[in-house]
Structure 1
Amino acid sequence: MKPNYIPSQTTLTGQKNATEHKNCIGQTTCAYCGVGCGVDIHFEKGEPVAIEGTPSHPANYGKLCVKGNHLLETLTSEDRLITPQIDGKSVSWHLATDMIADRLIETIRSHGPDSVAFYLSGQLLTEDYYVANKFMKGYVGSANVDTNSRLCMSSAVAAYIRAFGEDIVPCSYSDLEQTDLLIIIGSNAAWTHPVLYQRIERAKQINPAMQIVLIDPRRTATVEIADKHLALKPGTDAAIYNGLLNYLANYDGLDKCFIEKHTENFDGCLAEAKQWSVNRVASFCELKVQEIESLYDLFLCSPRVISFYSMGINQSSSGTDKCQSIINAHLASGKLLRPGCGPFSITGQPNAMGGREVGGMSNMLTSHMDIENATHREQVKTFWQSPTIASKAGLKAVDMFEQMRSGQIKAVWIMATNPMVSLPNRPIITEALKACETVIVSDCVARNDTLEYANVVLPVSGWLEKDGTVTNSERVISRQRGLIGPNGEVKHDWQIICEVAKKMGFDGFDYQHVHEIFNEWTALTGYKNNGSRQLDLSAIGRLSQSEYNNLKPQQWPIKPGGDSRVFVDRQFSTSSGRAHFHPVTPRLPIQTTSEQFPIVMNSGRLRDHWHTMTRTGRSARLHAHTEHPYIEINPSMARTLDIVDGDLIRAQSSTGEVIANARVTDSVRKGQCFMPIHWSKQYASHAKVSALYQSVIDPISGQPESKHTAVRIEKMNYAQHGFLFLTSDINLTVDYWSKTRISKGWLWHFAMHQEGLELRHFLQEQLTDRYQWLQFNSSHLQSVVAQSSGELKAVGYLSNVPVKINSDWLNQLSISDSISDDQLNRLLHAQTDPTFENGKQVCSCFKVYEKSIVTAIKEGHRSVAELGKKLQCGTNCGSCKTELSQLIKTHAEDTHHDIHALVL
């Protein structure tokens, strides 16, 4: 019998919570991407012991991806920030908030309200976001409050506002299952939004006639579901949709009635699109004419079409126009505002949408109101009863840090984000934080790249401690419930802001419980709205604390009968009530290649990691899929540069450099390379890819161009390469290093230019405990093993070539009661036990490795389902299914060739 559902309440305000019950289920939402999956947390004796998807949640219906499935592994007190700090010393909350209030008051008095800035995050809950915006825009009187959503979604936001008059995503996840044609452009959904990818996969199985086209310079895991893959030249996406609009006009594909009744400026838009013939598009995008015509014919002939796009479109110096070009094609064809149709921008962070709703970005007011609109400003000021209201748009993220650097911003409060890793041009961000007189950082981790620049550090609640709401990519509001008690002295972000506000003499921040913030916020969405904006949540406001705690997922707009479609009467949120076409002139990226920097660098996310790994970095299983940073390069480039797979290589741009292992693959085109975004200074010495990007932004949205920069690549030649296994963490100071977590410790790969290092002496300096040491030296290898009372504590190797030892074997040895002489001999000679030579881990849920999968394929298990029956891989979260498909294609074909050769 399933445990009873116990509605939970925040533990940080003294309420009852799920942990007070011996056996129960607490429901909350996932901490990762914008899909917004519901999760059920099973408790035993007050401790969270298991996690599964919420079967009834409309975002995921019980599914979770690999990251969501392993969330509980990230709940550890290790490296948690648990007390406030001033200049590195622990202090009381009273002292910390006194200092912040005094600093802000003095800064505003001496330099004006615009000398203060907030930099927020899509990791915040909507209530946190709301209070921060109220504080800055209504009480400080500055709109210098921006968010890291600027880095991922602001171009989509700007295009939606320009087209519809409001930041409206006009699609739902169910549309993905009802469409005839799905165009995935600028998104590796198989890895970035796996649960939606699986919904798409199932929809295609039910309806094999459904067509899927992937448009992406790289051949990503998402190609496994696609009928066509258009590997276009990076940065040329807008030309695809400009040419499509022209094609629709030439082949009777326009919805002339819709255009005439419900839109404006179509003629001007079409005039620009007319310049983009199929031939010109093919040439500009470096595609075949047949590929372009085939795509256009599919769009023309398909009654229902979804264009599904994400960071690959948004993160561009012309990202707003790229998004607009997509919207233009859907407006012109009338393929939107009905099931299975529309321009669907998919959000990257768990609450980027909620932040947008409350005006989390510097060019917005709360509740989808316009900061440049005097009537809107007065409405918000009146509702808040605030002493002032920001009179103009504030600074966007990149400009905000530039003004810190120049000394115009004197105080910044950074909440739940790590700009030293995520913002482009790391040297500039370093200078900005050093120059800023007061740097306040609220976070739940004790170490990240930004914290070292903070004057004041504040410990805040993390996932499963936080309590409030989030909004996902399809406009569904869900409760994120605080199900476990606070770690140390942590507080919620909204509580800290309110405490500082009251010490600054501000009224309007006397909230006792988070539901009071929710009620105020939802009431504001309906205040003098009168149908002018789709965002009106007043129907679910005025909730009691109990009703708020039991709030079910709600998609807005919230209307009688449950119809949550937007613009049902085809009246848009513009002054005319008509949707706006906007002419788009496709532009290439600003960060272009040159003789000095001839290679295009792209960047993106991995399947098992998230942002800067402050959460996924705590899980050994998630580390196992990709243990170390890498750069994908084309085989042709690798031959030219004398690089082989696994070599350490350096990519340099005009602003910085990275060093990582080469991954030679034809998934990237010649002249291009790719690097994941996740590594920070906590996990690698030289793998912060944002350091390669210049401070180039879209002039409309302010979004950085983080998908395209120019680099040169060279092979690194180190004198010595090292490998370490240690059961404890250390600070390693060498020329290059990267580390990965395993269940019983850490693995390091490192390299040095210096020769002659004595490994045992080096390690003994790092490890202060007294161990028993074994040592082996040969002409090309130094190896040491350290034990304590028979337990394995350290293994180290130093050689003129990289040394690889299987991490599972080391884990097994570290938990053994004793280690045999044969095992010690193998360790000393760097020879992994053959039973552990399994290749790369493919399935993180069941720890299934490539070797086992390939063996099963060659035995005749040549479908994902058959592999699942034999090995369990792909049967839990499903995140590994695309890699299983790729292995089947590769090795089933190899087996066929082997059999064919035998027959001949």
Structure 2
Amino acid sequence: MPSETRSTCPYCGVGCGVIIESDGAQITGVRGDPEHPANFGRLCSKGSTLHLTAAAPITRHDRLLHPMLRARRGDALQRTDWDTALDTTARQFARVIRAHGPDAVGFYVSGQLLTEDYYVFNKLAKGLVGTNNIDTNSRLCMSSAVAGYKLTLGADAPPCSYEDVEQADCLFIVGSNAAWAHPVLFRRIEQAKAMRPDMKIIVCDPRRTDTAGLADLFLPIQPGTDVMLFHGLLHIMLWEGWTQPDWIARHTSGFDALKARVRECTPEAVAQACGIPAADLLTAARWFATSPSTLSLYCQGLNQSASGTAKNAALINLHLATAQIGRAGCGPFSLTGQPNAMGGREVGGLANLLSAHRDLANPQHRAEVAALWGVPSVPDKPGRTAVEMFQAAADGEIRALWIACTNPAQSMPDQATVRRALERAEFVVLQEAFATTATADFADLLLPATSWGEKDGTVTNSERRISRVRPAVPAPGQARHDWAIAVDVARRLERLLPSRAGAVPSLFPYASPESVWLEHRESTRGRDLDITGLGYALLDRRPEQWPMPEGAAAGRARLYEDGVFPTADGRARFADVAWQPLAEPRESRYPFSLTTGRLRDQWHGMSRTGTLGRLFGHVPEPSVQMHPQDMARTGLGEGDLVHLTSRRGSIVVPVQASDELGLGQAFMGMHWGGEFLGGVSSTGHRLAGVNAITTSAFCPSSKQPELKHAAVKIMKAELPWQLLAMAWLPPEQALAARTALRQLMERFPFATCVPFGRERSGVLFRAAAYEPASLGLLSQLETLLGMAGDQGVRYADPRRGQHRAVRLVRQGAQSRLEAFLLAGDTRSQAWIRALLQDELDARSYGRLLLAPGAKPPVAIAPRGRQVCGCLDVSEPAIQRNLASCQGTPEERLAQLQQDLRCGTQCGSCVPELKRLVRAQIPISPEVMSHS
């Protein structure tokens, strides 16, 4: 019987409500929940395809369905039972703790866990084991926001709500490409601008992103100069008399020191440091300070920095100086990166925090948590944060690692150190839903966890709104909930570590996620995030914002309306922070600034989105982007392979021209890890995607690494022998082929393997080398892609390094190209690829498919890059349509959407459609800003 289940999207921090459609054990569809206040029914390209990434988990090659154990390092993983897996985990951790102390183990968990999962892991580490060595991948995205809020406002509490977007008179979007990273919220921004054209939008970013396309004023500052920009804005506000002295005197402290700090930040000095006109600086200051309400939206551009805390605090200074806080439509609003990074912060799931926003350094807070948990004490020594934890493991100080729902072998910076840590640790347990992540290659034990559509609990979004996550289908195979796995191991450890367990029968008496949540709720009583007025029964009816103490009728939409802050004296504190240069400035040997960031249709390490070919339509393969003038100056052409090199490593990747970047800058998607981009160095070391390049230098306050910037050099890679292979395969065979091809990627200096296809499952494998690949290796590729033996027709000339194979299938009167491999001479790849991807009749091409450099008798135009993922509309089709459109930009966009329907479903492509409209007609930015 078909059924519907209300739940929450597992991607970004917007926290969209979804309705899951299911039929027995299978998820069959998903749509936005029109009653959820975070999205009112909207979903982005990722959320709207959730049902496709969750299809048939019991038969999927990539799902981890059983515990898997290695007898010894180097052995293959073998299936085992749960008792053996849990006993092994407890025994190994107890062994290390007895021999080397509790700080010799580390827990690295995820901002995608549920709050209940987080709570149990936190209690396991700090309450039972007695170590604060528990951190989450939220350290990589949100810890600077946490530190910035605490430094200035006194608590990690975003004071705003999404409804403030509609009520703001000025939006200051800085360090956030919300159009791609938070698409549903950006739809709301677009709608607010359309309803109130007089609203001013300022976008500050080194790249001219799709978010910048909506701006009335764009500030393309140089990387790392945010603090100088904010100090410059405050200097102007003081000079012009745009601050609010009375409000400052009543509600803040520390302003005099900050005034002295910004005295030297003159418009001329700031303009030179930031690389923007002084006039634009003045305009931004005026709009920010004099608008009736100004709302700042910010994300990883501020957070992922060695000065992340200073950047966050300097921006909040502007709100305090102008009293732009505690009212409708204004305030500093940090956009959360992951679906439950907020929930993790609420339970104290970071190495320096305790439950309910308590501080580890505070003896009273430690005593409160110890009493709540029934343990003698909570350790006072700060735990290792993410970067520190893996460095300690690489140095042999941490000997056992428990990793849950995250992929550090893809997402952490300085992959050489991370992989050395995973190899050196005596025991690595990985708790995951997917068996194909890069970290799984290093694990001694894999524990199968439930995933979206199977989990039960709660999450908290960017606006402090707690939503229920409900299961629509049973757990597949032997997968178990994350909190339950942690409880099972904890109970075993209680028997092995009785000195920490105390007198109670168990510190972990939980029988359900709700029983965990109730204990977490009690820990918040009297705190700034008090949720004692909430329960599962209420949350099942509607999501609610915190705080909502016992007796309250509803959660609080906006904080600090009374001008009282959670500090010792009730006053907000101005932060006297200095501008610091980048951790790794550009110099002659490394002359480019590399920025990493999100792609529109992908999520993190792509363990989920990377299984779906249609989500690769917009960005089909990894590349590094450069300014066209930089490419011309260095002799690079579109698609050339380059060595992208930093002080930590080097990878080979194609280069792509982009005028979104400034001179001397480069950009690469953060998602491209070793699962999709492989290769080996000249010394034979395995390369590990974009984070082989990034730096682990971190902010001294927040310990968040500077993932947003690395100094790099970019040089052409001379790899004369190249290969491209593509094939349509049955879905399970395609998954299995990609897993096997991952191993073959290590045989080439450059290789990439990605899915493609909308209705069918396709696999693309591209490689390059100094010398032709062996016949045996080419035969392996043919076998994996269904062209072995009689299945394919081939041509080979080993002396010239040429090898070509195709698989053709008769369909009625037509012939379809189902697979091809071009090695050596790949000049004909464009038309052959179009022949396969567009499923054109191949009868007329015959032997030309096997002839190196052959041209087709009838021109075949490649279909072009996909812009609209929902309706599969390509950029050439959009440009052809726009060529015949007339009228204003708004009228042309409306005509385009009426004719091709692009941008009429999830809307993720609307910013790019507007950019294509602007490119068709030369009009002023002022006019286009209202489109």
TM-score of the aligned structures, taking structure 2 as reference length: 0.89
SS at match of 2:533: helix
Greater CA drift, 36-45 or 834-843: 834-843
Greater CA drift, 641-650 or 124-133: 641-650
- Aligned-partner residue type, residue 415 of structure 2: R
Contact 1:695–1:704 (CA under 8 A) maintained in structure 2:
yes
Contact 2:242–2:289 (CA under 8 A) maintained in structure 1:
yes
Match of 1:250 among 239, 243, 250: 239
CA gap 1:186/1:800 in 2 versus in 1, 3 angstroms: same
Matches within 5 A, 1:407-806: 407-505=396-494, 506=501, 507-526=506-525, 529=526, 533-541=527-535, 543=536, 547=537, 550-558=540-548, 560-562=552-554, 563-686=556-679, 688-726=689-727, 727=729, 728=734, 729=737, 730-731=740-741, 732=744, 733-742=747-756, 743-755=760-772, 761=779, 763-764=781-782, 770-776=789-795, 782-786=803-807, 794-801=819-826, 803-805=829-831
Contact 1:120–1:148 (CA under 8 A) maintained in structure 2:
yes
Q: Structure 2 CA distance, aligned partners of 1:784 and 1:572?
A: 69
CA gap 1:390/1:789 in 2 versus in 1, 3 angstroms: farther
The answer to whether structure 1 residue 868 and structure 2 residue 867 are counterparts is no
The answer to whether structure 1 residue 68 and structure 2 residue 50 are counterparts is no
Matches within 5 A, 1:264-413: 264-413=253-402
Tell me which residue corresponds to 1:17: none
Task: Quote the offset at 1:891 in angstroms.
Answer: 2.9
Q: Structure 1 CA distance, aligned partners of 2:120 and 2:540?
A: 22
Q: Structure 2 CA distance, aligned partners of 1:99 and 1:511?
A: 22
Greater CA drift, 668-677 or 769-778: 769-778
Q: Structure 2 CA distance, aligned partners of 1:58 and 1:422?
A: 31
Tell me which residue corresponds to 2:912: 883
CA gap 1:568/1:297 in 2 versus in 1, 3 angstroms: closer
SS at match of 2:370: helix
Q: Structure 1 CA distance, aligned partners of 2:93 and 2:795?
A: 60
Deviations 1:610-642, CA, capped at 9 Å, x for gaps: 111101111111011111111111112111211
Tell me which residue corresponds to 2:36: 57
Q: Structure 2 CA distance, aligned partners of 1:402 and 1:377?
A: 27
Q: Structure 2 CA distance, aligned partners of 1:92 and 1:765?
A: 33
Matches within 5 A, 1:11-410: 22-44=1-23, 47-76=26-55, 77-87=60-70, 88-410=77-399
Q: Structure 2 CA distance, aligned partners of 1:703 and 1:820?
A: 53
Q: Structure 2 CA distance, aligned partners of 1:690 and 1:232?
A: 24
CA gap 1:358/1:411 in 2 versus in 1, 3 angstroms: same
SS at match of 1:679: coil
SS at match of 2:4: strand
Q: Structure 1 CA distance, aligned partners of 2:860 and 2:663?
A: 38
Q: Structure 1 CA distance, aligned partners of 2:379 and 2:796?
A: 69
Tell me which residue corresponds to 1:8: none
Contact 2:772–2:824 (CA under 8 A) maintained in structure 1:
no
Q: Structure 2 CA distance, aligned partners of 1:365 and 1:866?
A: 55
Q: Structure 2 CA distance, aligned partners of 1:97 and 1:806?
A: 52
TM-score of the aligned structures, taking structure 1 as reference length: 0.92
Task: Quote the offset at 1:281 in angstroms.
Answer: 0.9
SS at match of 1:794: strand
CA gap 1:793/1:770 in 2 versus in 1, 3 angstroms: farther
Q: Structure 1 CA distance, aligned partners of 2:154 and 2:348?
A: 15
The answer to whether structure 1 residue 843 and structure 2 residue 878 are counterparts is no
Greater CA drift, 56-65 or 391-400: 391-400
Tell me which residue corresponds to 2:683: none
Deviations 1:818-842, CA, capped at 9 Å, x for gaps: x753254564467688676321111
Instruction: Give the gaps of 5 or more residues in structure 1.
Output: 1-21, 895-904
Task: Quote the offset at 1:806 in angstroms.
Answer: 6.7
Deviations 1:379-419, CA, capped at 9 Å, x for gaps: 11111112431223211111111111111111110111111
Instruction: Give the gaps of 5 or more residues in structure 2.
Output: 71-76, 495-500, 680-687, 924-931
- Aligned-partner residue type, residue 472 of structure 1: N
Contact 1:139–1:388 (CA under 8 A) maintained in structure 2:
no
CA gap 1:806/1:71 in 2 versus in 1, 3 angstroms: farther
CA gap 1:760/1:737 in 2 versus in 1, 3 angstroms: closer
Task: Quote the offset at 1:339 in angstroms.
Answer: 0.7
CA gap 1:368/1:174 in 2 versus in 1, 3 angstroms: same
Deviations 1:510-553, CA, capped at 9 Å, x for gaps: 21111111111111111xx2xxx320011114x5xxx2772521
Q: Structure 2 CA distance, aligned partners of 1:172 and 1:511?
A: 33
Tell me which residue corresponds to 2:73: none
Task: Quote the offset at 1:50 in angstroms.
Answer: 2.1
CA gap 1:757/1:501 in 2 versus in 1, 3 angstroms: closer
Task: Quote the offset at 1:717 in angstroms.
Answer: 2.1
SS at match of 2:339: coil
Deviations 1:583-631, CA, capped at 9 Å, x for gaps: 0111111111222111111111100111111011111110111111111
Q: Structure 2 CA distance, aligned partners of 1:467 and 1:402?
A: 34
Contact 1:633–1:674 (CA under 8 A) maintained in structure 2:
yes
Tell me which residue corresponds to 2:844: 822
Task: Quote the offset at 1:435 in angstroms.
Answer: 1.4
Contact 1:534–1:567 (CA under 8 A) maintained in structure 2:
no
SS at match of 1:851: helix
Q: Structure 2 CA distance, aligned partners of 1:570 and 1:892?
A: 48
Tell me which residue corresponds to 2:926: none
SS at match of 2:27: strand
- Aligned-partner residue type, residue 795 of structure 1: F
SS at match of 1:804: helix
Deviations 1:337-364, CA, capped at 9 Å, x for gaps: 1111111110110111111111011000
SS at match of 2:381: coil
Give the alignment's Cα RMSD to 1 decimal.
2.2
- Aligned-partner residue type, residue 62 of structure 2: D
Contact 1:557–1:565 (CA under 8 A) maintained in structure 2:
no
Task: Quote the offset at 1:42 in angstroms.
Answer: 2.2
- Aligned-partner residue type, residue 821 of structure 1: R
SS at match of 2:578: coil
Deviations 1:834-871, CA, capped at 9 Å, x for gaps: 67632111110000111111111011166322211111
- Aligned-partner residue type, residue 542 of structure 2: K
Contact 2:27–2:54 (CA under 8 A) maintained in structure 1:
no
SS at match of 1:177: helix
CA gap 1:131/1:834 in 2 versus in 1, 3 angstroms: farther
Q: Structure 2 CA distance, aligned partners of 1:45 and 1:484?
A: 7
Q: After TM superposition, where is structure 1 displaced by more than 6 Å over at least 4 residues in a row?
A: 777-781, 788-791, 830-833
